[in-house]
Amino acid sequence: MTQKKPPLLSRRDALLTTATAALSPLLPKELHASAASAASGPPEKPLRAAPTGPGHVVRVHMPNMRQGAFPHPQAARIMVEKAVATLSRQSDSRAAWRTFVHPSERVMLKVNCLGTRMVSTMKEVTDAVIDGLQGAGVPPEHITVVDMFASNMMGGRYEQRTAKNRVRVLAHRDAPYESQWVTAGKARVKFSTLFTESDVVINLPVIKDHDLSGVTCCMKNVTFGVVEKPHVNHNVINDALCHIWALEAVRSRVRLNIIDGSTILYDGGPKYNRAALVPHESIYATTDPVAMDAIAHQHIAELRAQNGLRTLAEVKRPPMYIQQAADMGLGIADPDLIALETIELPPFSGAVS
């Protein structure tokens, strides 16, 4: 994969409000039908950007959204709500969340806590998603926050909660794995039953450099984060990222990606590297994990160049999976086809409206 310094996608920011303003957003039943159709396999024809569909990524940017190391809870709530409402094309919060989740469904929130409390999915962002779901009528007992290791979750400020009458916070140790291994291209996986027993997965990754795949954002947080012994696929990581995501078990469940972009780690990932962690003050929302990973790659590549680091290709870990995933019909990777819709909010003042 030839790597060059990519431009930021700002020139595409207004695409949806200009080129696709006349298109109607997907209604909930249409969105669910699309997910069901996708479960049978990747589409045969190249994808095209569409509202609440392939290539549509919303970025909400709010200066001063962090108080010290962590987001201000009210700022995170405002940003998450704005991102979901903009993506869904619904002005009402309840309707926006119900575009993606029905109250009767069991919802798994897949966080990423590998990078300690500094480079984990911030609890304030996850809490904002939980608030939005409950406001849309999803009962607390239908919501489970999940990551692989309990120790990492505690390091990321997530306290384990197992009571079934409230929002649960669980690690893989709290449930068995499926008994059968599943073949996905060159990879083999065994899913956690926390994943397979959920109806909907909301993916809550961060934007990080990765020591094997180059980038970790949407696709890796799920494909290597809901399975037993993910290291067995490290030697085929790019192929595994694509083929695991293409499995029905994954594509039929992951309905929404909300990305904690409060910071970006551009080197030394996936664990914490203080020297390469910078503020980004953003929340992203999308149904296209490939488009979001392409955006994450662009940000990481630009930050590496700005800080005098070699490209990911030069350090022998280019994220080849992004283009492969696009070639398989899993999403859109071409920057010229990604519809990045940026919402600029006033700096957070700490006032509660």
Give the model confidence (pLDDT) of 26-40 as tens digits.
333 333 334 334 444
Q: How far is CA 11 from CA 16, 20, 264, 342, in A?
A: 12, 15, 21, 10
Give the model confidence (pLDDT) of 54-69 as tens digits.
999 999 999 999 989 9
How would DSSP label each residue in 93-149?
HHHHHHTT--TTS-EEEEE--TBTTTBS--HHHHHHHHHHHHHTT--GGGEEEEES-
For residue 350, what pLDDT is reported? 79
How would DSSP label each residue in 202-216?
EEE-EEEEETTTEEE
Residue 45: pLDDT band (50, 70, 90) is: low
Q: Say which amino acid occupies 97.
A: W
Q: Distance between CA 297 and CA 301 in Å, rounded?
A: 6
What fold is seen in the domain 55-344? Rossmann fold (3.40.50)
Q: Distance between CA 96 and CA 82 in Å, rounded?
A: 10
DSSP assigned state of 330:
S
Answer yes or no: is pLDDT of 282 > 90: yes
Answer yes or no: is pLDDT of 104 > 50: yes
Strands (E), the chain: 56-61, 66-67, 70-71, 107-111, 143-147, 168-171, 182-184, 187-189, 200-204, 206-210, 214-216, 254-265, 277-286, 339-344
Give the model confidence (pLDDT) of 220-244 as tens digits.
999 999 999 999 999 999 999 999 9
Find residue 316's DSSP bridge partners. none
Where are the domains positioned within the chain? 55-344
Q: Distance between CA 19 and CA 17 in Å, rounded?
A: 6
Give the 3-state secondary structure of residue 196: helix
Residue 194 phi, psi (nearest 5): -60, -35
* Contact status, residue 224 vs residue 233, Cβ threshold 8 Å: yes
For residue 51, what pLDDT is reported? 77
Residue 137: pLDDT band (50, 70, 90) is: very high
Answer yes or no: is pLDDT of 14 > 70: no
Answer yes or no: is pLDDT of 161 > 90: yes
* Contact status, residue 188 vs residue 182, Cβ threshold 8 Å: yes
For residue 22, what pLDDT is reported? 27
Tokens of 230: 């993910």
* Contact status, residue 219 vs residue 292, Cβ threshold 8 Å: no
Residue 181: pLDDT band (50, 70, 90) is: very high
